[in-house]
Structure 1
Amino acid sequence: MKPQELLLRFFLGGLAVVLSYVASALLPWKALGGIFAAFPAVMIVAVLMMGISQGSDKAAAIARGSVYGMTGCAVCVVTVLYALQLTGLWSLSLLLGLAVWFISAMAIYKIRARFQTRVHR
């Protein structure tokens, strides 16, 4: 990957994260702010950069793969919410949420891969 591509990814991804944070901090409706806080900045930048550098087919593969991460993200949010309510410890809740995000995203990927293999036999 070229240094210019890395710099552009860093800038666009960071800009999306900052704008999402600003929206979530400034909007008076906290539920709507939470929606912006979950903005898929990394996915958008990954698809954009892959499309620019390697074409639509590779970008589509990244977008398909992001389904697992986004689904895991939903599981992460629910985990963090309930962990915060149970423990009141934000750091523990975030660590638990991140672990559950990764495990659930990988589990969904493996289940789909296994199902897809059986269907194509």
Structure 2
Amino acid sequence: MNKQDLFMRFLLGGTAVSLSYLITVVSPWKILAGIFAAFPAVMLTAVIMVGIASGTKKATNIARGSVYGMMGGIICVITVLLSLQETSNWLFSISIGLISWLVSSVAISTIRERATRKAIRQA
């Protein structure tokens, strides 16, 4: 990765995160804080940068893989919410949520790949 790519990622991702934060501060609806916290800025930035640098096929692979990460994000949010309700320890809750995100994302991806291979063999 060159310096220009890194700067563009920083600029695009940082702008999205900053705008999301500003919306949560000025909005009268507190639920927007959670909604914008899940804004897919990192995925969009990655797809844009890979598309520019390596083309549509690799950008498609990034977008396809992000589905698993976003599904894991659901597990992460549920884990953090339940953990916060039980322990009231935000650092522990976030840590266990991130671990559950990674494990569930990899598990979902693995299950999908195995199902695809099985369907191909049966066809």
Bin of the TM-score, shorter chain as denominator length: over 0.9
Q: Gapped runs of 5+ residues in structure 1?
A: none
Residue identity matched to 2:88: G
Which residue in 1 is equivalent to 2:89? 89
Deviating above 6 A after TM superposition, structure 1's stretches of 4 or more consecutive aligned residues are: none
- Name the count of aligned residue pairs: 121
TM-score, normalising length: structure 2: 0.93
State the Cα distance separating 1:8 from its structure 2 match: 0.6
Q: 1:72 and 1:27 mapped to 2: Cα distance?
A: 27
2:58 matched residue in structure 1: 58
SS at 1:120 equivalent: helix
Q: Please show how residues 3-82 of structure 1 align to structure 2 within 5 Å.
A: 3-82=3-82
What is the CA-CA distance between 1:45 and the residue it aligns to?
0.1
User: Could you say what the CA RMSD is over the residues aligned between the two structures, in angstroms?
Assistant: 1.0
State how far apart, in whole Å, the 2-side matches of 1:33 and 1:91 are: 19
- The aligned amino acid for 1:54 is S
C-alpha separation in 1, matches of 2:25 and 2:68: 28
Deviation at 1:23, TM superposition (A): 1.6
> What is the alpha-carbon distance in structure 1 between the residues aligned to residue 96 and residue 117 of structure 2?
31
Which ranges in structure 2 are unaligned for 5 or more consecutive residues?
Answer: none
Q: Percent identity?
A: 54
CA deviation after TM superposition for structure 1 residue 24, in Å: 2.0
For the residues of structure 2 that align with 1:23 and 1:29, how far apart are their CA atoms?
A: 10
- Aligned counterparts of 2:100 and 2:24: Cα–Cα separation in 1: 24
Q: Distance in 2 between matches of 1:23 and 1:112?
A: 36
Secondary structure at 2:117 match in 1: helix
Q: Distance in 1 between matches of 2:105 and 2:94?
A: 16
Distance 2:60 2:69 in 1: 15
CA–CA distance in structure 1, aligned partners of residues 115 and 62 of structure 2:
20
Q: CA deviation at 1:2?
A: 1.9
Partner Cα distance (2:74, 2:45) in 1: 20
